[in-house]
Chain A
């Protein structure tokens, strides 16, 4: 029994996948560069999806694709130049943002399309635009500032990626930072945690562990206690 259990588990997984996941797929991609970074592109219900995964030391990546088959996915190696770029202006007033930003560095390339410029705040994607121009030699680019009307004050990370011959933005040139000011993040319920950190933004008594009573855990029926968020 013990010896055949892994085999049985595998077969059960197959049965369950067939009935539970619709056309979703659990995929394993092999033959990749150990620990290399890859982008996985696939189409789910007509929407293009992309995810980044890193190969194991054995050169494999496991990924679950919603609404797509494994064979429909494109797995593309990331080229990461890892440059530290400079953005100008380096400060953005969210109430009066500049129309364009200039980013300087190296390797900006228009051969297969304009470079893509993405803005992140604490990891959240807040805007993405294509450069409008790239200087000769690929040392600077200009891009319109994306719509930041729903963004908040903070330090943003700006990622610049080139489009490659594969047709994907899989060449990450590097990162710049800008400081945004003028619009503080809201804490609607006043519990000390911003709405985007708060799983119950309208409940001043809960900000983490939504969906379960906070406190009163195993080993007893203690009174509910306040819980700390982890971020």
Chain B
């Protein structure tokens, strides 16, 4: 009880958490890496295998500058198939250019702390400009058939209903508009943990692609994938065929009928708005301005 009272004295933490539900559906995910004591070596091996079958196989990371167009296209396709989040031709072009600059040494990689800082800035700025319509839309597409919004796919970190989410979000928007430092600090700490978790896990699972990320930093495409993962609660695991098989198995496991399915609002994709594995609204976070800022694209990738 004292902890709850303590939280009430620190409303910025509560608001930050609620707002993270809104803009970053996947906050506080990847519990396996966050709680190493509870995750067995077998769990980690299994996660690594799933990651290699997912992002490790379906995204063609570039090692040479002439591979960057293909790398960006595969990353964009990976994200689109899983969430419906579509990358414009202009952003693909800028991202490929920035990726190429990093590989030739013309510009620096994005450090983990820089990505955290950029994400924090983007989230705080985005929160401050949220419209009521956007908040309503997020509540609609991020909630499940029971009208509840889960902070994780298994609901472990808590549940809000639509009305509560909208009330909290509007209150939080005011905090953000005031430039509240406590809110920013709380968000930064949460994002720092999320980014570090992903970098650590991807480094272990895909050492050829992410092995140097902690020391040398990330390429823009890698940074984008990590930001997408945080925004959607997509762990980047499993191939398309794995996910398709999982969908059929999930129907069997839950005894789902076609009639029941028709009554549900599902998008046909595993993540993103009305996603059947974990619904979220990454479109709110990934607009043109935020992607440019997140990946330093407005500077042509140069630092």
Contacts and interface: CB of A to CB of B under 8 A. Distances in A.
B155 A26 contact: yes
Nearest to B31: A62
Interface stretch (A50-58, A82-90, A129-137): A50-58
Interface string B33-67: 01000111111001000000000000000000000
A138 interface: no
A13 B256 contact: no
A13 B268 contact: no
A219 B261 contact: no
B68 interface: no
A9 interface: yes
Contact of B13 (A8, A62, A230): A8
B28 interface: yes
A209 B84 contact: yes
A214 B151 contact: no
Interface in A55-76: 56-58, 60, 62-64, 66
Interface stretch (B107-115, B172-180, B188-196, B205-213): B188-196
B86 interface: yes
A50 B252 CA distance: 11
Contact of B256 (A20, A21, A125, A219): A125
Interface residues of A, number: 68
Interface stretch (A92-100, A101-109, A116-124): A116-124
A126 B80 CA distance: 32
A26 B156 contact: yes
B255 to A, nearest CB: 5
Interface stretch (B88-96, B98-106, B123-131): B88-96
Q: How large is the interface on B (under 10, 10 to 19, 20 to 34, 35 or more residues)?
A: 35 or more
Contacts of B7: 8, 11-12, 15
B192 A2 contact: yes
Interface in A4-21: 5-17, 19-21
Contacts, number: 218
A211 B90 contact: no
Given A212-B267, A219-B91, A11 B4 contact: yes
A64 B150 contact: yes
B158 A219 contact: no
A225 interface: yes
Contacts of B258: 124, 126, 150, 196
B154 A63 contact: yes
B263 interface: no
Residue in A12, A58, A122 whose Cβ sees the most chain B Cβ within 10 Å: A12
B154 A62 contact: yes
Interface in A199-231: 199, 207-212, 214-222, 225, 227-231
B255 A220 contact: no
A219 B291 contact: yes
Contacts of A17: 158-159
Contacts of B270: 230
A166 interface: no
Nearest to B44: A57
A34 interface: yes
Contact of B160 (A20, A124, A211): A20
Given A2-B189, A51-B254, A231-B268, 9 more contacts: A1-B189, A24-B159, A56-B39, A64-B154, A125-B252, A199-B265, A199-B267, A208-B84, A219-B291
19 contacts: A6-B193, A8-B13, A9-B190, A16-B160, A20-B160, A21-B148, A26-B154, A26-B159, A34-B42, A57-B40, A57-B46, A120-B252, A123-B247, A209-B272, A212-B283, A217-B283, A219-B92, A220-B91, A220-B288
